[in-house]
Amino acid sequence: MSTDQKQQTQYLGIDAGGTFTDFVLVSAKERKIHKVLSTPENPALAILQGIQELGLNKKLSKGQLYIVHGSTVATNAALERKGARTVYVTNKGFKDILTIGRQARHDLYNLCPKPVEAPVPPDLCLEVNTRRDAAGSLISPLTEQDIYQLIEKIDALSPEAVAINLLFSFIEPNEEVKLEEALREKYFTSRSSFVLPKYKEYERGIATWLNASLGPKVNQYMNTLIEQLEGCPISVMQSSGGTMDISQAAHRAVNLLLSGPAGGLSAIRNISKQCGIDKIISFDMGGTSTDVALLDGDFSLTDEGTINHWPIAIPMLDIVTIGAGGGSIAWQDQGGMLHVGPQSAGSFPGPACYNKGGKDVTVTDANLILGRLLPNAFLNGTMPLSADKSQEALSNLGRKLNMPPTTAAKGVISVAEHEMIQALNAISIKKGHNPSEFVLCCFGGAGGLHVCSLAENLGIRQAIVPINSGVLSAAGMLAAPKQRRLTQTHIRCWTDVRQNELESIFSALEQQGLSSLRKEAPADAEVSVLRSVDLRYQGQSYSLNVPYDERSAAHFIALHIEQYGHQLNRTVELVNLCVDLTIPTNVSLPMQQFPQSQPLPYQYIAMADDDSSTPVYERGSLNTQHKLTGPLLITEHVSTTWVKSGWHCYLDVFGNLLLIRD
């Protein structure tokens, strides 16, 4: 691409959330931000609306627009169990694997637990008479007759998708490949040796079933975008923090479960480097949910994530998600106790203050009544909020709770923040980290309204609200590298490992990843390759990931002591070989220009719990020279920050709002 072409090319980050769809447009000279209400029934409609409102339609046809997109389509379909009708195929005698699971009890002391719904109904679980042993040797071959009989059974069930999970296929996938070739003309087909070539047949089966179940919906959605956006280059954010081309994403739907939140962590990683802060707790509060994660040098990946109590063994960023966002609904249980979420008012009808028919109290309504949101400043005034509707909804809730509306509003905020604190504790204190050693970084449209309270509860004295924090996930997607992470199970005692054998496996994984990456990057793009291994003590069920070198075993022992407080006098065992391949992005965000004059409040307001007038500042008027002391409000196009008494704030040279507790 020539210099002139680079200057004309624009880069668009899109984060399609449950309530709002966010846009960040970057070119060589400028940056624009935009928000529209999401359209959950068809997320592509909100995306096309935003592109039209940004005036980018002509850029599509000229090939001057590049899009990076994070989607909640796979996440919502999994959470709501709205995946495609899927047949699960496995070896003879093993069709109940997904139903039996690990026999884990979610409520340990509940003597009468509710039966857990099976992921796949028994009548959709089929068996095929083939088998390999633990060494990958063929015991019972797959015949043409077996394939023919299986196809007949599948046709009779009329599914949309088929998931194939055969024992030890991660060693030798030949039988799975044959079945896939026989079925993929009729059905969306996923095989475990492609989705997750690792041991543990239950976890591998869940990942393969989810990929097949979500695949048709994700595929349809992605194809709609490809057609409507006239062949514009589009990358999709993965749960692991990197991107892949949209044409490949449809076949790896299970890799997109944390697509949106991963974009925010990409931006936080950049902020960490800019500011020289290596300990950050990230807090992303949007309209529907809140996502929290911890950066200690870097964010950690996990293959022990869950969704709907199903294990997700696909590598993903270690993020805790709760149903507490700006649109989370306040409600009473049968005992009269107040709860907030996980139900959300969404984009329609939305909170009561949206004036679109919503009657329930939400966190947004509570913030509005308490004066922390300005009715005419929401989305830069383009979407006025109705304080009367919020007052009406909170009056109804207050009568049920036998308290005034403002007291009820404080209760809603208190309950919601309690849920957020629990999530923040889960990724910090419960994992051996002291929150007071970290900086709290809040973003999302609603994050700035709660940053000071959360920091105080965690004992944190410094916080950051990034520039354009309400659309930070969309901006972070533009900073994310193109990435592939490949894994291969190879169980051996570490002392018995032959280096040439590992080199052969690593090389094969790297070639596979490079072949995929080169389809979406220039031939001369520099590819970073990182090799690592999953190790464990012999007899353990879980492993730890460490860099691959001559000191891998020593790294494992040290990490085991750090995480679990002890080491075992047992042989160290190799479980998996892992390869990460990344191509860095070439997108850079323009630097902010700051005013030199002293910032002045553009109005004063009376807060619900304070008789004095509270100053309100426009964030665009702030600069790096002056410090402001709370209480005060800072408004901007896509978010509002509530700086409590006892805090002061100023901008850093990158435009981030720094808050420090007195």
Tens digits of per-residue pLDDT, 247-278? 888 889 999 988 888 999 999 999 999 899 99
Q: Quick check: is 588 in a domain? A: no
Residue 520 clears pLDDT 60, i.e. is over it = yes
Average pLDDT, the chain: 90
Is residue 210 very low, low, confident or very high in pLDDT (cuts 50, 70, 90)?
A: very high
Q: How far apart are CA 310 and CA 214, in angstroms?
A: 14
Instruction: Decide if 264 contacts 443 (C-beta within 8 A).
Output: yes
Q: How far apart are CA 118 and CA 251, in angstroms?
A: 24
Instruction: Decide if 86 contacts 164 (C-beta within 8 A).
Output: no
Is residue 129 very low, low, confident or very high in pLDDT (cuts 50, 70, 90)?
A: very high
Omega prior to 121 cis, within 30 of 0 = no
Residues 36 and 110 both lie in one domain: no
CATH code at 30?
3.30.420.40
Residue 413 clears pLDDT 70, i.e. is over it = yes
Residue 503 clears pLDDT 60, i.e. is over it = yes
- Residue 248's nearest CA partner among 10, 64, 482 is 482
Distant-in-sequence, close-in-space partners of 519: CB < 8 Å, separation ≥ 6 = 245, 248
Residues 157 and 105 both lie in one domain: yes
Q: How far apart are CA 516 and CA 486, in angstroms?
A: 11
Q: How far apart are CA 443 and CA 459, in angstroms?
A: 19
Using DSSP bridges, classify how beta strands 279-285 and 439-443 pair: parallel, antiparallel or unpaired: parallel
Tell me what pLDDT residue 590 has: 65
Residues 208 and 90 both lie in one domain: yes
- The tens digit of pLDDT for each residue in 630-652 reads 899 999 989 999 999 999 999 99
Tell me what pLDDT residue 308 has: 73
Domain extent, residue 17, equals: 3-78+220-256
Residues 202 and 116 both lie in one domain: yes
- The tens digit of pLDDT for each residue in 26-51 reads 987 778 999 999 888 788 899 999 99
Residues 54 and 85 both lie in one domain: no
Tell me what pLDDT residue 61 has: 64
Q: Between the CA of residue 127 and those of 89, 91, 176, 395, what are the distances in Å?
A: 6, 5, 13, 59
Q: Quick check: is 40 in a domain? A: yes
Residues 191 and 207 both lie in one domain: yes
Q: Quick check: is 391 in a domain? A: no
The torsion angles phi and psi of 424, rounded to 5 degrees, stand at -65, -35
Q: How far apart are CA 341 and CA 331, in angstroms?
A: 8
Residue 574 clears pLDDT 90, i.e. is over it = yes
Residues 166 and 142 both lie in one domain: yes
Residue 4 clears pLDDT 60, i.e. is over it = no
Tell me what pLDDT residue 519 has: 78
Q: How far apart are CA 161 and CA 557, in angstroms?
A: 43
Q: Decide which of 557, 583, 609 is a domain's last residue.
A: 583
Provide the number of structural domains found in the chain: 3
Which range, 195-199, 216-220, 456-460, has the best average confidence (pLDDT)?
456-460
Residue 62 clears pLDDT 70, i.e. is over it = no
Q: Quick check: is 403 in a domain? A: no
Residue 608 clears pLDDT 80, i.e. is over it = no
Q: Decide which of 212, 242, 265 is a domain's last residue.
A: 212
- Please report the sign of the dihedral spanned by the C-alpha atoms of residue 53, residue 57, residue 59, residue 60: positive
Per cent of the chain over pLDDT 70 is 97
Share in percent of the chain as helix, strand, coil (round to 5): 35, 25, 35
Q: Quick check: is 434 in a domain? A: no
Q: How far apart are CA 195 and CA 437, in angstroms?
A: 39
Which contiguous run of DSSP H or E holds residue 504? helix 499-517
Name the residue with higher pLDDT: 118 or 3: 118
Instruction: Decide if 428 contacts 458 (C-beta within 8 A).
Output: yes
Tell me what pLDDT residue 82 has: 85
Lowest mean pLDDT among 70-79, 143-152, 290-299, 523-532: 70-79
Tokens 């994050």 map to which residue? 447
Residues 90 and 73 both lie in one domain: no
What mean pLDDT is predicted for residues 129-154? 95
Instruction: Decide if 77 contacts 267 (C-beta within 8 A).
Output: no
Q: Between the CA of residue 310 and those of 161, 257, 402, what are the distances in Å?
A: 19, 12, 41
Q: Quick check: is 339 in a domain? A: no
**In 10 A of CB 514, how many CB atoms?**
16
Tell me what pLDDT residue 494 has: 95
Q: Quick check: is 579 in a domain? A: yes
Residues 52 and 151 both lie in one domain: no
- Residue 101's nearest CA partner among 197, 205, 198, 190 is 205
CATH code at 87?
3.40.50
Chain centroid to CA 206: 19
Tokens 């989810």 map to which residue? 210
CB-count exposure of residue 93 (10 Å: 0-12, 13-18, 19+): exposed
Residues 234 and 170 both lie in one domain: no
Is residue 6 very low, low, confident or very high in pLDDT (cuts 50, 70, 90)?
A: low
Lowest mean pLDDT among 107-111, 137-141, 370-374, 486-490: 107-111
Tell me what pLDDT residue 40 has: 80
Distant-in-sequence, close-in-space partners of 292: CB < 8 Å, separation ≥ 6 = 281, 282, 283, 284, 319, 320, 420, 423, 424, 426, 427
Q: Quick check: is 206 in a domain? A: yes
Tell me what pLDDT residue 591 has: 66
- Residue 92's nearest CA partner among 127, 138, 60 is 127
**In 10 A of CB 505, how many CB atoms?**
14
Residues 231 and 197 both lie in one domain: no
Instruction: Decide if 374 contacts 637 (C-beta within 8 A).
Output: no
Is residue 289 very low, low, confident or very high in pLDDT (cuts 50, 70, 90)?
A: confident
Tokens 């109290």 map to which residue? 361
CATH code at 570?
3.30.1490
Report angle CA 122, 195, 70 to the nearest 5 degrees: 105
Chain centroid to CA 490: 29
Is residue 216 very low, low, confident or very high in pLDDT (cuts 50, 70, 90)?
A: very high
Q: Decide which of 156, 180, 212 is a domain's last residue.
A: 212
Residues 204 and 99 both lie in one domain: yes
